[in-house]
């Protein structure tokens, strides 16, 4: 949703923006172009491959583009380390990026054979294989139900435990085969692939995506200058619920000086959804810090 993001952030020359999930820098590039000649974007991402690719893409902007490998939960530290304490806009584009999905070796996609990894930061932490091969059945079922909202979570967890007792599940294809055998035929032939929700649950668990979202949103709101805007794009109901409730809580405290600009989440334009099917589930919410007088 680059057009929508730019229309809400309203970049101007000399302003500073924070992209908390900079990824492969599609949004960052647009913001830098719109805030020329002196606007700055600080971009954070856990994925070293994304940071390296983004550095090459944004090379032409020189020191106007500051890319940091790190986690958005540490956004205040990343800004203060660079002498920045207030910004004019913040963006979170949550979830996994298309380049990550499209590389089989990352293990995010159930449509391609690859290792069961799913880590956004491949230098640390447990992989999806670690989780499916070591987690107790009841905990596995609860995780798939809670993070994937999967109705057949117990069946799938039981099938995983049974399969791993024979040999460890090591690849995406291993896991997809177990899921396909575990669910009813009508579900296996449904409009949405039967492995979608389980893969989502594992990705969220591996990357602890929901654990740090609310505190990071609060910190992002806290570093907004008067008139600054916080834009969040989410891709599933669990994320969107956290964003909605956090925004409401911030706006409800009059002394905090925030207002919600999107009464309902903004959806992608029909043309974008037609061009990029992955954008269909995107929802954009916007929060603004107002001045003490109550005006932007």
pLDDT, residue 159, reads 98
Residue bearing tokens 């967890």: 157
Q: How far apart are CA 278 and CA 270, in angstroms?
A: 12
Residues 230 and 248 in one domain: yes
pLDDT in tens, 217-272: 999 999 999 999 999 999 999 999 999 999 999 999 888 899 999 999 999 887 88
pLDDT, residue 213, reads 96
Total domains in the chain come to: 2
Residue bearing tokens 């890319």: 67
Q: What is the pTM of this model?
A: 0.90
Residue 228, domain CATH: 3.40.50.150
pLDDT, residue 291, reads 67
More confident call, 23 vs 215: 215
Nearest C-alpha neighbor of 234 from the set 224, 246, 252, 222? 246
pLDDT, residue 278, reads 67
Residue 26: how many CA atoms within 13 Å on its side-chain side? Answer: 10
Answer whether residue 294 shows pLDDT above 50. Answer: no
Residue bearing tokens 């910190």: 219
SS3 state of residue 196: helix
pLDDT, residue 295, reads 40
**Mean pLDDT within 23-50:** 94
Hey, which residues does 66 pair with through a beta bridge?
42
Is beta strand 16-19 parallel, antiparallel or unpaired with respect to 40-45?
A: parallel
Residues 202 and 119 in one domain: yes
**Mean pLDDT within 107-117:** 91
Answer whether residue 277 shows pLDDT above 80. Answer: no
Hey, which residues does 40 pair with through a beta bridge?
16
Q: How far apart are CA 15 and CA 10, in angstroms?
A: 10
**φ and ψ of 157, to 5 deg:** -60, -40
Domain assignment present for residue 8? The answer is yes
Domain assignment present for residue 296? The answer is no
pLDDT, residue 293, reads 44
**Mean pLDDT within 48-68:** 94
| CA–CA distances in Å: residue 264 to residues 140, 168, 224, 261, 287 | 34, 45, 22, 9, 12
Nearest C-alpha neighbor of 226 from the set 121, 122, 296? 296
Residues 278 and 218 in one domain: yes
Question: Among 207, 224, 245, which residue terminates a domain?
Answer: 207
Contact (CB, 8 A) for 208 and 46: no
Nearest C-alpha neighbor of 194 from the set 169, 207, 177? 177
Q: How far apart are CA 11 and CA 124, in angstroms?
A: 35
Domain assignment present for residue 107? The answer is yes
Burial per residue of 194-217, b for 16 or more beta-carbon CB atoms within 10 angstroms, e otherwise: bbebbbbbbbbbbbebbeebeebb
**Mean pLDDT within 164-185:** 97
CB-based burial label for 42 (10 Å; 0-12, 13-18, 19+): buried
Contact (CB, 8 A) for 189 and 52: no
Residue 35: CB atoms within 10 A of its CB come to: 25
**Mean pLDDT within 206-222:** 95
pLDDT, residue 265, reads 95
Query: Domain range spanning residue 68?
Result: 2-95+210-289
Percent of the chain whose predicted confidence (pLDDT) is above 70: 97
Which residues of 218-279 form beta strands (DSSP E)? 224-234, 258-260
**Mean pLDDT within 51-78:** 95
Residues 133 and 53 in one domain: no
Residue 164, domain CATH: 1.10.150.170
């Amino acid at each position: 949703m680059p057009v929508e993001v730019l229309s809400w952030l309203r970049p101007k020359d000399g302003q500073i923006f924070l992209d908390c999930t900079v990824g492969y820098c599609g949004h960052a590039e647009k913001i830098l172009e719109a805030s020329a000649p002196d606007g700055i974007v600080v971009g954070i991402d856990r994925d070293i491959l994304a940071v390296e690719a983004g550095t090459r893409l944004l090379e032409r902007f020189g020191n106007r583009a500051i890319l940091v490998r790190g986690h958005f939960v540490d956004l205040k530290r990343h800004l203060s380390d660079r002498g920045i304490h207030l910004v004019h806009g913040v963006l979170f584009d949550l979830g996994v990026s298309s380049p990550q999905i499209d590389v089989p070796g990352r293990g995010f996609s159930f449509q391609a054979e690859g290792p069961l990894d799913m880590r956004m930061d491949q230098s640390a932490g447990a992989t999806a294989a670690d989780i499916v091969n070591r987690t107790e059945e009841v905990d596995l079922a609860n995780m798939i139900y809670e993070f994937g909202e999967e109705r057949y979570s117990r069946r799938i967890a039981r099938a995983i435990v049974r399969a791993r007792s024979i040999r460890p599940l090591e690849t995406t294809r291993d896991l997809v085969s177990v899921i396909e055998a575990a669910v009813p035929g009508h579900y296996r032939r449904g409009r949405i692939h039967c492995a979608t929700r389980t893969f989502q649950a594992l990705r969220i668990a591996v990357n602890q995506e929901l654990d740090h979202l609310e505190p990071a949103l609060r910190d992002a709101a806290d570093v907004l200058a008067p008139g600054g805007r916080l834009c969040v794009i989410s891709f599933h109901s669990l994320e969107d619920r956290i964003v909605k409730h956090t925004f409401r809580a911030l706006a409800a405290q009059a002394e905090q000086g925030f207002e919600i600009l999107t009464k309902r989440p903004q959806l992608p334009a029909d043309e974008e959804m037609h061009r990029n099917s992955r954008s269909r589930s995107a929802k954009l919410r916007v929060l603004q810090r107002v001045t003490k007088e109550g005006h932007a």
